[in-house]
Amino acid sequence: MIILDYNGNNTCAELSAIDKISLIIVGRRRYLSNDEFIKGFLHELGHSLGLRDECIHCAKVELGYPNCAPTKELARQWWGAFAGEVPTVDFVNGCCGTYDCVRPSIASLMNDADKASDYGYVDEAYLRREFERMIVK
C-alpha cells in the first residue's frame, strides 16, 4: 500500500502503478474551494495510474511514458499519431521539472490542476486504456 501526500518529495508515478494498490490522501487544508480539492484529487489520481507531472517549475523527477518524453522523437512514437489530428495535441517543451523534454499539451490537470479543466487528449486516452485493462471480464 502506498500513501501519497502533498508534502512528499517523490513523484507519485514512480511510487505507484496500476498493478499495485494505492491509497491517495489529499490534504483538505491545502485547497481553498471544493473545485480546487476535486482538481487536486484528479491530479493525484492521474499519478496513481502512471501519469507524470507535466510542469516545468516543479521538482525534477524521472521522465517517462506516457506523457513526459525525453526527446521529441520518442514523443512522436508515444503520441505522434494524435499530433495534427487532435487540435490540442502537440509537442510542448517541458515536464517533470525539466525544460529539455516534451509533453503532449499546453494545459492539463497534470500540468496545472488549478487552471486546467481536463487531463488532455493523450493523458485521457492513456487513462481510458488503463481503466479498460482493470475491468475484470
Q: How far are the Cα atoms of 9, 40, 86, 107 from residue 30, in angstroms, in the given order?
A: 16, 9, 34, 21
What are the cell numbers at 102?
516534451
- pLDDT, tens only, 79-93: 999 998 999 999 999
Query: Distance between CA atoms of 46 and 48, rounded to whole angstroms?
Result: 5
Structure confidence at residue 135 (pLDDT): 78
- pTM, to two decimals: 0.79
Mean pLDDT of 39-43: 88
- The parent domain of residue 122 ranges over 2-134
Mean pLDDT of 107-115: 91
Q: How many domains does the chain have?
A: 1
Structure confidence at residue 11 (pLDDT): 52
Sign of the torsion angle spanned by Cα atoms 98, 77, 44, 14: negative
